[in-house]
Amino acid sequence: MEESKLISTITERLDSLSNFPKMKENKSISALMQENGISRRDFMKWAAGMTAMLSLPSAFTPLMAQAAELTDRLPVVWLHMAECTGCSESLLRSDAPTIDSLIFDYISLEYHETVMAAAGWQAEHNLEEAIAKYKGKYILMVEGGIPAGSSEFYLTVGPHGKKGAEHAREAAENAAAIFAIGTCSSFGGVQAANPNPTNAKPLSQITSKPVINVPGCPPSEKNIVGNVLHYILFGTLPSLDAYSRPKWAYGIRIHDLCERRGHFDAGEFVQQFGDEGAKKGYCLYKVGCKGPYTFNNCSREKFNQHTSWPVQAGHGCIGCSEPSFWDNMGPFEEPLGDKLYESICADATADKVGVAILTVTAVGIAAHAAIGAVKKDKN
């Protein structure tokens, strides 16, 4: 769709959304920002950053700001399955609240076990009520892998003793959009790591409804909030990759925009943590960086208000947004080399093609690292 047409479609959508009642007696987003020492100028800068992150032209910035103001019109139900709550924490725990975390406060969270006061019967009642009241209108976010056991008897939640899988399936049934938040919910995560004793599954295997995966262990707050804003702006599924991840966030490899990439290309590697190469900021491939095999926007968007990210802090990427990274990317402080080659031969899984492609890349990357190092030694 051409830009002006798209702008008018979105404007119409936002106007109609602004006629929806506010879900709660929230302060306006501007008041909330002001209270936390964030100026309108900072807010607009953030909106411009979000616009660029979603690969939209800068003309969309005012619409992005308006969409952020309307995040309190969409009810959100957030369910916890088996996980460490790191996904919620990545949004909630910051000593100086970021605009993303304030938006998370502002979103109309109708149900979220970590932040709500209710417990027991009351909590379960609130969940049922939210699902019935906002039928077909709420956004469902599910965090955590879903243990399926042999008869789904794991993860019994609440006074009725319902199973996590039942909760997730029922909530998915009438949701307007469904996000699997974190690698656990997207791909099974640490629970599903070999030997997966609870038969943990990703959300997409529990419901037949379309699920948008937002992986990362935990995912960046920008990718969570960005998905909500994308939904408010467009009301449709974003363009997804083969693993149902939005391409605007997971369309690039960590390695492609890494600030240490020049050192990789020049064959300059950290050989062990703390050596001269580490002090010079050399590439972390040989101490285990999985950036060449990992699709995520960390090297572009960074964390903590764009200040740093794992590789900048001196540790390699561990591939936390990839399926089965606990099994496939380890050991985390050793290069992958051609290790995967053996594991695929032994393991005829459905992921064979994906892993095989990865392996070809792995062998190529390992070869580059070796050749690069030889060249360097000759020099």
- Number of residues located near ligand SF4, criterion CB under 6 A: 15
Q: Which amino acid is it at 59? A: A
Q: Which amino acid is it at 52? A: A
Q: Interface mask (CB under 6 A) for ligand F3S, residues 203-222, using x and -? A: -------------x------
Residue from 321, 324, 328, 359 in contact with ligand F3S (CB under 6 A): 321
Residue from 17, 139, 283, 329 in contact with ligand SF4 (CB under 6 A): 283
Angle at 132 between CA 66 and CA 200, to 5 degrees: 90
Q: Among the residues of 3-119, which ranges form H helices?
A: 3-18, 29-35, 40-53, 61-69, 86-92, 99-106
Please, which residue, 88 or 98, has the CB nearer to ligand FSX?
Answer: 88
Residue from 74, 157, 184, 336 in contact with ligand FSX (CB under 6 A): 184
Of the ranges 52-60, 108-116, 159-167, 286-294, which one interacts with ligand SF4 (CB under 6 A)?
Answer: 286-294
Cα separation values, 308 from 279, 299, 301, Å = 17, 9, 9
Q: Interface mask (CB under 6 A) for ligand SF4, residues 252-281, using x and -? A: --xx--x-xx--x-----------------
Q: From the list ligand FSX, ligand F3S, ligand SF4, none, which binds 296 (C-beta under 5 to 8 Å, kind-based)?
A: ligand F3S
Of the ranges 38-46, 138-146, 230-238, 310-318, which one interacts with ligand F3S (CB under 6 A)?
Answer: 310-318
86 binds ligand FSX (CB under 6 A): yes
92 binds ligand FSX (CB under 6 A): no
Q: From the list ligand FSX, ligand SF4, ligand F3S, none, which binds 189 (C-beta under 5 to 8 Å, kind-based)?
A: ligand FSX
Question: CA torsion sign, 195 to 197 to 203 to 209?
Answer: positive
164 binds ligand FSX (CB under 6 A): no
Minimum distance, C-beta of residue 114 to ligand FSX, in the bound complex (Å)? 10
Q: Which of 248, 252, 266, 84 is nearest to 182 (CA)?
A: 84
Dihedral (Cα; 222, 228, 232, 237), 10-degree rounding: 110
In this chain, which residue has its C-beta nearest to ligand F3S?
A: 317
Q: Yes or no: say if 53 and 222 are a contact pair by the CB < 8 Å rule.
A: yes
Cα separation values, 163 from 17, 35, 65, 157, 178, Å = 35, 41, 39, 6, 19
254 binds ligand F3S (CB under 6 A): yes
Cα–Cα distance measured from residue 328 to residue 336, given in angstroms and rounded to the nearest whole number: 9
Minimum distance, C-beta of residue 370 to ligand F3S, in the bound complex (Å)? 23
Please, which residue, 264 or 309, has the CB nearer to ligand F3S?
Answer: 309
Cα–Cα distance measured from residue 23 to residue 21, given in angstroms and rounded to the nearest whole number: 6
Where does this chain bind ligand F3S (CB under 6 A)?
216, 254, 294, 296, 298, 309-310, 317-318, 320-321
Interface residue list for ligand SF4 (CB under 6 A): 254-255, 258, 260-261, 264, 283-285, 289, 291-292, 311, 316-317
